[in-house]
Amino acid sequence: MDRFAPLLPEIILAIGGLVLMMLAAFTGRRGTALVNWLAVALLIAATIALIGPPSHAGPLFDGMVSADLFASFGKAVIFPSAAVAIIAAHGWFERGREHASEYSVLIVFAAVGMAVMVSSTSLVSLYVGLELNSLAGYVLASYDRRDERSAEAGLKYFVLGALASGILLYGISLLYGFTGTTSFTGVAAAFGRGAPSLGLLFGLVFVLSGLAFKASAVPFHMWTPDVYEGAPTPVTTFFASAPKVASVLLAVRVCIEALGPATEAWRQIVICAALLSIFVGAIAAYGQTNIKRLLAYSSINNVGFALIGLAAGDRQGASSVLFYMAVYVVMTVGAFLCVLWMRAEDGEPVETIASLSGLSQRQPGFAAALAIFMFSLAGVPPLFGFWPKLLVFNAAVHAGYVTLAVAGILGAVIGAYYYLKIVKVMYMDEPAAPYRRVREPVQAALVLFAAVIVSPLGYLLIGPLATLTDRAAGSLF
Amino acid sequence: MGEVSGLPLLSLLIVIPLLAGALCLFVKAEGARWVALVASFLDLAISAYMWIAFNPDGPQWQFVENWPIGGGVSWAMGIDGIALLLIVLTAFLMVISIGASWRSIEKRVPEYMASFMLMEALMIGAFTAQDLFLFYIFFEGGLIPMYLIIGIWGGAERIKASYKFFLYTFFGSVLMLIAMIYMVSVTGTTSIPALMAYDFPRSAQTWLFLAFLASFAVKLPMWPVHTWLPDAHVQAPTAGSVILAGVLLKLGGYGFVRFSLPMFPEGSLQFLPMMFVLSGVAVVYTSLVALAQTDMKKLIAYSSVAHMAFVTFGLFAMNRQGIEGALMVMLGHGLVSGALFLCVGVIYDRLHTREIARYGGLSDNMPGYALLFMVFTMASVGLPGTSNFVGEFLSLLGTYHASTWGVIAGTTGIILGAAYMLWLYWRICFGTQRNADAAAMPDLSVREWWLLAPIAVAVFWMGIYPESFLKPMRADVGRLQVRLERVAPGGDSKLSPGKPNLKVFDAHEHGAGH
């Protein structure tokens, strides 16, 4: 049994997910609430199970996965945000007479996939984890199947995702073909033997492209705005949080553990993707009128900042990426929970930015929360969103990439404009038609919690979080 | 000295307005007004106490607090004499601002008062922070409340002005952030006092100076990056303008004193000619622009830019007179420009226009107003006996040691300043009463007297007995001067020992004797 102790979180989720699926199938619509809450309980249990062997057991199954602190940190962010995505869906799908309980089961399976992603140390387990997550994601994107936009989002995500998987697989096969191994250490050893051959470089480029697609980094971001806009809002909340963390963390692990000796080769790719993501994310958001689309560009923009930390390529950089993603998830989940509450009088969701007009006079608390998330996403101090940005720039400057940091920070100024625009609409424009009041105490508590974390009180977390991310990053080196 | 009472006074100065601001959001309009007023009075009382308790001969940093937060930053607070006076100025102007908004703001009062309280906390925080990143957080944080103040309670063009204000200053500051990161990674410390004594390599100083300049020049503001200021001032509500001119601009000057000069002396010397040229252009150009204005607030906004040029002149002269003068200009300008914006606000509240041409002959129907407006006009011109005279005189005296051309530009600015201010006063208070509605305006109310009279007292106090203000910062200016000694510019005045023609002199004496 000891062999399986380090996998306890994944086991809980996998077996629990199967049981829940049966439960969902047999109880039908009546069991929706039960299945949802059980799924949340499973995710919380899995998070608690991270304490102990799953955090420091080391390599398992002949180096297929590694139960280390880096993986645990990722899971500790991923599982709770997946749980929030389930809570976010409360009362959402019932409106459309959908069969709602499978939603939470799918999220649990996606969480298993993401857990495998962040702990994989082999190209095979990497791919299995990624696909498990993606398959659940394709279904989730088209969950509102009567809604054309949702169906379109699912199809788009599927077709483009399949393409990206193909690219990734092609890269994996090249790496395997030229190194003769799928384990990250083996690949690293092959790269360590002098200048990499052309085949290896091609493999590297393809693998990184596939990962960039999953993390929606430019130039592989095209699917993001459409999918984020079309998918039901709780699903978008999910897409913008947990899978994003999983793919960025996976990219960090691949770059450092598998491609570590070839840092010079991948760094330029990462720098390009980082700067392009920051600028495209910032500039393309200008004309948006749909808040979900705008937040999609915001998430592209944020991945760019996280990649700046990765470009530093050292322990400090990896640590800053972890810090960044942890705070990013809180901000972005908070923002999406606010978007969930944008409902017209008849209860239908509203997504235009214009409908936020004068919100501060209609619902001051709601407006204040969203304003806090916006300023925080923009990285304006004294909100906590400033600190992770500072850390990634700090890592870049420390590694000698001052120009990169300057370019990134200029992108942050450009990006600040559209976050300000939302605050302007809410605070400075005349009130528009009121929203219908949403009575969701759990969601309200979550929004409040997120707002407190990104408020200046969040700075009290710097100490413990910095220690944790540093140790987690240390397990990669 | 330090904590006389054992209380963390500096933290209190920040926490009181923060809590008051939060409380404002939960009460009705009238309650919010009182909460803000009480909190700002408390802050004023604490800062006044600190002014008295501050030991000018004591250690450089007093009232020190230090609690590590983790991740290399700490809640490090402490003030020297320079910061002390700026804090007193902030607390003083904040009380005035709350009073000035008492009845002129009727829209969304709780949020308004909360923004002002947040503003006060952040500004005082910026003056007290001893940790580099903590400073940056406070320094930048001030943008959020000001953005809201201009954008919600401003005039017709408020949205554009608020964006311009935010993005302009944000852009300036982020470059400084990169420089800060670099400094911390080189020195391994975030402590401002430690960094003030650190000698960065000369080549690095060039870039660091420029990066900090990008931020402080926008904030101060210096020509040619001042263009956000007239817009922001004109659109902001009266109290917003008071705080903007009185406190927010001082952050730029404070930044030069605290960071640019002591941390990058060689860098400062390298860019000294540029600083003088920019200041010279600013003082002459913006004065001429001010002459052409038809909008009262815009005129005073441009005069702010001109006055701030005396700050940069004095600071970069790098001698005692110059630096002390610059600091006095900062304090004096904070009072006088704040008061002038209030004077504009007084008549704006009555007639709802800032067009100079709509007024005239107000000394007939508003004699009290005309009197106080006269005091502040004279102070702005730099009449001896008022605050600005001390500052401008010292600053120019110091500049003269470093650059004759600088002084020529500066004194030209003073003449032009007299021209536009006196002309403004003449057009508003003297002459014939052209408009019946302006002629029917009542004189100052009791509340308005209470707002303007204390500033007038402070203006005379600074002008007649500047020692109260110079004393706390004398030792700190001395320390800065020691730091700058190795780079202080020699000056271009070709002084030669005089060879008086004794014969003529004798004859003259002789002649006088007859």
Question: Which pLDDT belongs to residue A279?
Answer: 92
Q: Are A96 and A146 in contact (CB under 8 A)?
A: yes
CB contact under 8 A, B178 and A405: yes
User: From CA B25, how far away is CA B33, in angstroms rounded?
Assistant: 11
Instruction: Copy the structure tokens of residue A458.
Output: 């969040």
| Average confidence score pLDDT of chain A | 89
Q: Where are the alpha helices (DSSP H) in B352-386?
A: 362-365, 367-381
Q: Which of residues 130-159 of B touch A (CB under 8 A)?
A: 133, 136-138, 140-141, 143-144, 147-148, 151-152, 158-159
Domain boundaries, chain A: 5-474
Tell me B78's DSSP state: E
Q: What is the CA radius of gyration of chain B?
A: 23
Chain A nearest-CA distance from B178, in A, is 7
**Residue B403 in domain:** yes
Residue A93 pLDDT greater than 80, yes or no: no
Nearest CA in chain A to B140: A381
Kindly list the residues from chain A whose CB atom is less than 8 angstroms away from the CB atom of residue B183: none
- What are the residues facing B74 on neighbouring strands? B68
Instruction: Write down the number of H helices and E strands in chain A.
Output: 21, 2
Residue A45, pLDDT score: 93
- The alpha-helical segments, DSSP class H, found in B352-442 are 362-365, 367-381, 387-402, 404-429, 436-439
- Minimal CA separation from B227 to chain A, in Å: 18
A58-60 vs A65-67, strand pairing mode: antiparallel
Helix or strand or coil: residue A60? strand
Residues ≥6 apart with Cβ < 8 Å to B371: none
Q: Are A118 and A67 in contact (CB under 8 A)?
A: no
Taking CA atoms, what residue in B is nearest to A323? B71
pLDDT tops 60 at residue A235: yes
Inter-residue contact B77 to B124 (CB < 8 Å): no
Question: What is the token pair recorded at A158?
Answer: 């599927």
Report the range of poorest mean pLDDT among A322-326, A335-339, B357-361: B357-361
Look up tokens 């890269």; give the residue.
A171
Torsion of the alpha carbons at A43, A46, A47 and A53, rounded to the nearest 10: -170
What domain range is B388 assigned to? Answer: 280-488
Task: Please answer yes or no on whether B137 and A382 come within 8 Å at the CB atom.
Answer: yes
> Which amino acid, one-letter code, is at A90?
H
From CA B460, how far away is CA B271, in angstroms rounded? 36
Tell me the residues of chain B between 68 and 87 that have a Cβ less than 8 Å away from chain A: 68-73
Cα nearest neighbour of A375 on chain B: B144
Q: pLDDT below 70 — which residues of chain B?
A: 1-5, 491-514
Q: How far is CA B26 from CA B20, B33, B36, B110, B114, in A?
A: 10, 12, 13, 8, 10
Q: Which chain A residues are closer than 8 Å to B112 by Cβ?
A: none
CB-based contact, A263 to chain B, within 8 Å: no
Amino acid at site B398 = G
- Among chain A residues, the shortest Cα distance to B139 is held by A381
What pLDDT was estimated at residue A458?
Answer: 86
**pLDDT at residue B481 in the model:** 85
Res. A109: pLDDT tops 90: yes
Other beta carbons within 10 Å of B336? 34
Angle among Cα B357, B361, B364 to the nearest 5 degrees reads: 155
Query: In angstroms, what CA-CA distances link A235 with A37, A81, A291?
Result: 17, 12, 15
pLDDT at residue B126, rounded to an integer: 92
**What pLDDT shows up at residue A97?**
59
Q: Which pLDDT tens digit goes with each residue over A387-428?
A: 999 999 989 988 888 889 989 988 888 888 889 889 988 888
* C-alpha to C-alpha distances, B444 to A215, B365, B448, nearest whole angstrom: 64, 10, 6
A251 in reach of chain B (CB within 8 A): no
Per CB-CB distance under 8 Å, the chain A contacts of B166 are 416, 420
- Is residue B362 a part of any domain in this protein? yes
Contact B76/B135 with Cβ under 8 angstroms?
Answer: no
Q: Are the beta carbons of A393 and B133 separated by less than 8 Å?
A: no
Distance from the Cα of residue A31 to its chain's centroid? 29
- How many CB pairs lie under 8 A apart between chains A and B? 95
**Residues in Cβ contact with A109 at an 8 Å cutoff, skipping those fewer than 6 apart:** A13, A14, A17, A132, A136
In a domain, B449, yes or no: yes
**Best CA proximity match to A254, nearest among A120, A164, A130, A124:** A120
Please check whether residue B25 touches A, CB under 8 A.
Answer: yes
Q: What is the DSSP letter of B492?
A: S
pLDDT attached to residue B1: 40
pLDDT at site A74: 93
Q: What is the dihedral of CA B202, B205, B206, B211, to 10 degrees?
A: 170
Which pLDDT score is estimated for A435?
A: 84
For range A280-303, the mean pLDDT = 90
Query: How far is C-alpha B277 from the geometric centre of its chain's CA atoms?
Result: 21
CB contact under 8 A, A413 and B170: yes
Helix (H/G/I), strand (E/B), else coil: A373: helix
CB pair distance less than 8 Å for B185 and A398 = yes
Cβ distance A462 to B162 less than 8 Å, yes or no, reads no
Contacts of A394 in chain B (CB under 8 A): 181, 184-185
Contact (CB, 8 A) for A371 and A426: yes
Paired with A67 in beta bridges are A58
Nearest to A413 among B69, B151, B174 (CB): B174
CB-nearest partner of B143 from A360, A380, A424: A380
Please state which of the ranges A32-36, A127-131, A433-437, B3-7 shows the lowest mean pLDDT. B3-7
Summarize the confidence of residues A16-31 as an average pLDDT: 87
Tally of structural domains, chain B: 1
**DSSP secondary structure, A262-283, as one string:** GHHHHHHHHHHHHHHHHHHHHH
Q: What is the mean pLDDT of residues A326-353?
A: 89
Chain A residues 351-410 with a CB less than 8 Å from chain B: 360-361, 364, 375, 380-382, 386-387, 390, 393-394, 397-398, 402, 405-406, 409-410
* B152 contacts in chain A (CB < 8 Å): 427-428
Query: Under an 8 A CB cutoff, do B70 and A416 touch?
Result: no
What is the number of residues in chain A?
A: 477
Contact call for residues B256 and B312 (beta carbons, < 8 A): yes
Please tell me the distance from the alpha carbon of residue B368 to that of residue B444, in angstroms, as a whole number.
6
**pTM score, whole prediction:** 0.89
Measured CA to CA, the distance from residue A52 to residue A68 in angstroms comes to 10
State the CB neighbour count (10 A cutoff) for residue B106: 9
What pLDDT score was predicted for residue B3?
44
Residue B508 lies in a domain: no
